Amino acid sequence: MSAAQAEKPVVAVFDFDGTLTRRDTLLPFLLYTLGAAAVARHALALSPTLAGYALGLIGNGVAKERVFVRCLAGMRIDELRQEAERFAALILPGLLRHESLQRFDWHKQQGHRCVVISASLELYVRPWGQRAGFDDVIATHLETREGGRVTGKVSGANCYGIEKVRRLEALLGSRDGYTLYAYGNSRGDRELLLSADYPYYRQIPKTQNEKIA
Band of residue 213 on the pLDDT scale cut at 50, 70, 90: very low
Alpha helices (H) along the chain: 3-6, 26-34, 36-45, 47-54, 60-72, 77-90, 98-109, 122-132, 162-172, 190-195
Alpha helices (H) along 95-203: 98-109, 122-132, 162-172, 190-195
Q: How much of the chain is helix, strand and coil, in % rounded to 5? A: 50, 20, 30
Band of residue 202 on the pLDDT scale cut at 50, 70, 90: confident
pLDDT tops 60 at residue 209? no
- Phi (first) and psi of residue 101, to 5 degrees: -65, -35
Band of residue 199 on the pLDDT scale cut at 50, 70, 90: very high
Q: Is-contact 33 80, C-beta < 8 A?
A: yes
CA distance linking residue 142 with residue 159, whole number of Å = 11
CA distance linking residue 49 with residue 7, whole number of Å = 48
Which residues, at least 6 apart from 171, have a Cβ–Cβ distance to it below 8 Å?
115, 136, 138
CA distance linking residue 24 with residue 8, whole number of Å = 34
Whether 213 maps to a domain, the answer reads no
Whether 206 maps to a domain, the answer reads no
- Global pTM value: 0.91
pLDDT in tens, 143-185: 999 889 999 999 999 999 999 999 999 999 988 899 999 999 9
Residue 160's alpha-carbon distances to 18, 43, 54, 105, 117, in angstroms, are 14, 23, 17, 25, 9
Domain that holds residue 136: 3-201
pLDDT in tens, 101-115: 999 999 999 999 999
> Which residue type occupies 14?
F
Q: Please state the domain count of the chain.
A: 1
Whether 209 maps to a domain, the answer reads no
Enter the DSSP assignment of 92: G
pLDDT tops 80 at residue 2? no
* pLDDT score, position 198: 96
- Considering only CA atoms, which of 195, 176, 198, 181 is closest in space to residue 7? 176
We report the CATH number of the domain holding residue 101 as: 3.40.50.1000
* pLDDT score, position 203: 85
Whether 210 maps to a domain, the answer reads no
pLDDT in tens, 112-147: 999 999 999 999 999 999 999 999 999 999 999 988
pLDDT in tens, 14-56: 999 999 999 999 999 999 999 999 999 999 999 999 999 999 9
Across residues 181-200, what is the average pLDDT? 95
CA distance linking residue 4 with residue 7, whole number of Å = 5
